[in-house]
Amino acid sequence: MQAEGGTLALLKSASLVVCLFCISFVSKRHISAQDPHKKAIAMIALIYGTSCSGFMLNSLITFCQPRETNAFTIQIRTLAIYNRSNIKGSNSNDIRRGSCCQNMVPKDIRERSFIEKGQIDNNVPKKQKSINTKKSHDGHKQRVRSNKHNQNYHISDKYKIKSMFHQAKEMERTGQWCKACEQLESILKIDPFDSYSHLALARLQSRRERCALSETSSTHSNHLDAGKVMTDVTFMDIVQSTPFSKAREAFYNGTQNCADSIHIWQAWALHEESVGNTSYARYLFQKALDIDGTNPYVCHGYGLLEHRLGNFDAAMNLWERPLKSGEKGKITAALVCSVGKQMIAQGRFVEARSFYMDHVVQMNTQREAAEVYLAVAWLEEKHFHNFSRAEELLNSALQVSPENSRALAALARLAGRKVDSENLSLNRDSSYLSSESFHISDIERRRNDAVKRRLKVACNNVVRKYDKETRREWSEVTDGRLFNAWAKLEVEDMNFDAARKILSQGMKVFPHDYSLRQAAGKVEEHVGNYTGARHWYTESLLVAPSAPTLVAYVLLEINHPIAGNEFNYTKVCRLFDEALLLDPRHGPLYNAYGNMELKMGNIEKARQIYQNGILANCRDVASVFHGLAMLELSLGNVETARRILIDGLEQVQIQDSGMDSNRRKRAIFLAQSLGMLELNCNRAAEAKAIFERGIEQHGNSTQLLLGAALSEVKLGNEDLARILFERSVNVDRKHAQAWQSWGVMEMRSGHYNVAKILFECGIKNDHTHGALWQAYATMESRRGNIEIARALFAAGVLKCPEHVPLYQAWACLELRSGSFNQARTLIGEALTRKKSQGSSWLVAAKIEERLGNKGLVSLILQRGLEHAPHSAELHRALAEYEMNRGKIDIARKLLEKGLEVDPMHAPSYHSLAELEARVFNIEGLSKLNKRAAEVFNTNALEPTSVSMAILGNKLRKNSLSHGKIPTSVSTLANMIVADLDIEEEISDLDPDLLIEKLSQDEKDVLDPKKI
């Protein structure tokens, strides 16, 4: 045995000498890589090197650095790496990364697509610092290198790389993406093993690649099925996948040179997930877990992926893995909040509460502890309705993290929701106005006042501490969000000077907070100072480029371009793309971008942008789902829009279950849109259920309460509708649509005096709402008060000159009164302001018909169809005109076209049925009957006992239409305090003078020569 051992040692020594000689000979002679002698000597060194130390193989690999990249040098380096990884008994520092490469670099590496194209750096992995090393660029000190590398790596290079890295990050921060990439690539030429530069470059390329997703609709054509088993994916599948990806190339180079960098593996997985390659992401997450099976960041990201795919048990197992490890630093707020949110989704509220409280004391930083306190406070408020306990927990967050702006903002919002909770219990089953606790100001104003008081105290404390220079005692989470929130409330109350002052104070305390300058731009935009808005948006971008500021700037360019009437489409698209680079998870960005493309007629691109936003898992996902649903609705895809809204509500409910957020209000629009969609589809019961669920989740929302009231009106439950209308207007007295809808319901029920009071209350609260003036004037005309109606129409036109239906209704009134010239003037003004409303052309045609100008009727209707091709009523009117002329075929085609435009337009069915009956077309009548039966309820003429009872109640109440005003309405009328006196307003108006003025300014669009 000793003889065998001696022989083995002698052979190893001989191999070492031969290997050293070969390497020394080739390096001294500087023989070309193409030289056959060099190839032979290198192969000898490789063969003998299999029994040598890791140091010798490192020397061989260094020798084969790609001065000249070809298949031979790649093969030599690859085989050397493979052999180094199989050395038994070698120093762990020499082979640790080689063992990773054994699984990652197979022998056929030369056949990979990247290497064939010469697009990857063929540097060999070196020993990187441990994953537990502190995350700073000083980690160069702790990197273990081979002796050969240490001789060539000077201390000056370390500081040079550190400086270059900071410059690259500054370039990235200021939006200089290309220069940042070039700078990082320059660093990697100096040190190919710098993991920070690899990670920064790959992430930057990933962001640029995700931005490019919005430019093509075929981006996801190569995506794998999310259900594909992870073992079906190999590393070669990812590397060789097409199309070519610079981000994937950068991640590949990073993992090759820094194989132990768990952060590069995780970032690569997140990139593949963001572009829809779910199976690739799973594989890469697993590779990261092979390095550290309990890394909290990897487990959290991997768990989120599984959760989004519906694998909730797998997600919980991944999230709990670091928590159960017991290792220091493994418990993070993100993990705790994710587990708690899932428990809440499963209805395990008590268990979630205990879980939060058990782990909040184990947080490593004050920021993370405050985060958990915020989560458990939301749980107490949302699910246990314990506002006092929620306030205690938020104060606990401030104890561990003094002046934490997130906690202070949450306390302010809690104070506002307390106002809601106090009133919500009072008005569920009874009239709100009959309550003794009714306040003169509405709930919205009192809610905002409560929030403002909290914010004012918090902001004043911040300013005092700033003046005393005690900022070193502040929390890790301090920014200008408190000043921002306070200023926003002042803007809602039209207190623009107060908002400017608040933001100015915030900018003094937080000079590097870009959001304060963005908010200042919003204030200037509200007051019409677009130059000032551009100034503040530019200042914000100079402080720090951000997606919200860019979106605000772009919308300003779209709505109020500097030169001309049209915005620069190319410039706007470029700015949107820049914003996507800055923050690919900013929901309003996708909404604004998609809406712009939709208005430009680029439907497929708009749809792809919205879908990319959903795929990106935006923080504000409600705005993305809402935008996509509105796009589908605009195309007539009602069922698709309904499914999108339902999916959006589910996603928002998951997001809102774990934490309070100022984005929660945006979810109201999803519920409102879905409810109104159901209501317009004659599904009143379904709409009512949606609105009620929304009210339960979001409290006193004036929009949802109005929707619930309209649902009750549709169902015939007027008493319940009145209660909901009262609640809606008392949440926000300035909600003009609620006043108008309530007044219209009372008017249709014959309660004219009640409707009059409601219309006047609405106008006093918002005198710029044209529909209120129109409804009030229409009611007075029906009651025979023609002069009052004309005065109301005139006042409405002066207050709301852009509300076209006002001109239409007034023209109809003048037409019925025989004032044809006045009617013609008014409808001409309506068409001058908006030609795409079919009803204006109908009124114009009716005027010419009454004047006896029958030749103009056809011309006007045809001109109207050119401007309003989707008006079924215009098709029907022109068809009846042709029918009277005996043009049956033309009339039939027009009616068929009208039904294509609007399949629910019942008058078109009636007109077509009359036409077929006139020519005795029995077969046509039969087909039309079947067609109508598919659209309308076939039992509509056979009412149920319930509907008969509702009709009876309505008829009985009509007999009381001239009774006394209900106490609730009279109380409400007395509460309204406004500067506008409607009676004085209409008494001072001369409608004839106004019409004469309009006729002088009018561009006669009804001139026969112009039609």
Q: Is the whole-model pTM more than 0.75?
A: no
Instruction: Give the Cα separation of 784 and 878 in Å (integer).
Output: 31
Question: How is residue 702 written in tokens?
Answer: 């004036």
| Cα end-to-end distance, the chain, whole Å | 113
Given a cut of 50, whether residue 66 has pLDDT beyond it is no
Return the pLDDT at 442.
Answer: 77
User: Residues 577-587: what's their mean pLDDT?
Assistant: 88
Amino acid code (one letter) for 379: L
Which residue would you say has higher pLDDT here, 395 or 967?
395
From the list 587, 673, 676, the residue with the least C-alpha distance to 623 is 587
The pLDDT, as a whole number, for residue 961 is 42
Q: Mind listing the pLDDT tens digit for each residue in 916-964?
A: 888 888 888 888 888 877 766 654 434 444 333 433 444 344 433 444 5
Confidence grade of residue 125 (pLDDT, cut at 50, 70, 90): very low
Residues 305-318 have a mean pLDDT of 92
| pLDDT value, residue 88 | 36
Cα separation, 282 vs 288, in Å, equals 10
Q: What angle do CA 519, 525, 526 make, to 5 degrees?
A: 95
| pLDDT tens for each residue of 233-289 | 777 777 667 777 888 899 999 999 999 999 999 999 998 888 888 899 999 999 999
* Distance in angstroms (rounded) separating the CA atoms of residues 23 and 26: 5
Q: Alpha helices, DSSP H only, in 616-766?
A: 621-634, 638-656, 667-680, 684-698, 702-715, 718-731, 736-748, 752-765
Instruction: Kindly report, residue by residue over 785-839, the tens digit of the pLDDT.
Output: 999 999 999 999 999 999 999 999 999 999 998 999 999 999 999 998 888 888 8
| pLDDT exceeds cutoff 80 at 127 | no
- Mean pLDDT confidence for 52-56: 44
**Over the stretch 190-208, which tens digit does the pLDDT of each residue have?**
999 999 999 999 998 888 7
Most confident of 28-37, 134-143, 172-181: 172-181
Residue 6: pLDDT over 60: no
The tens digit of pLDDT for each residue in 208-227 reads 777 665 454 433 433 434 44
- Count CA atoms within 13 Å of residue 580 on its CB side: 28
Judge if the upstream peptide bond of residue 243 is cis by omega within 30 degrees of 0: yes
Angle between the 702-715 and 667-680 helix axes, to the nearest 10 degrees?
10
- 113 has a pLDDT exceeding 70: no
- Comparing 654 with 720, which gets the higher pLDDT? 720
Residue 352 has pLDDT above 70, yes or no: yes
Q: What is the 3-state secondary structure (H, E, C) of 91-145?
A: CHHHHHHHHHHHHHCCHHHHHCHHHHCCCCCCCCCCCCCCCCCCCCHHHHHHCCC
Q: Coil, strand or helix: which one is 310?
A: coil
| pLDDT over 50 at 93, yes or no | no
Q: In the prediction, which pLDDT does 184 show?
A: 92
Q: What is the mean pLDDT of the chain?
A: 77
At residue 317, the pLDDT reads 95
pLDDT at site 72: 42
Whether the per-residue pLDDT at 84 is higher than 80: the answer is: no
Could you give the count of Cα atoms lying within 13 Å of 386 in the half-sphere of its Cβ? 13
Region 359-372 average pLDDT: 90
- DSSP string spanning 518-578? HHHHHHHHHTT-HHHHHHHHHHHHHH---HHHHHHHHHHHHHS-SSSSS--HHHHHHHHHH
Residue 956: the pLDDT is 41
Most confident of 55-69, 312-326, 982-996: 312-326
Q: Residue 619 pLDDT more than 60?
A: yes
Summarised one tens digit per residue, pLDDT across range 409-454 is 999 999 988 887 776 544 544 444 444 444 556 788 888 899 999 9
User: Does residue 502 or residue 158 have the better pLDDT?
Assistant: 502
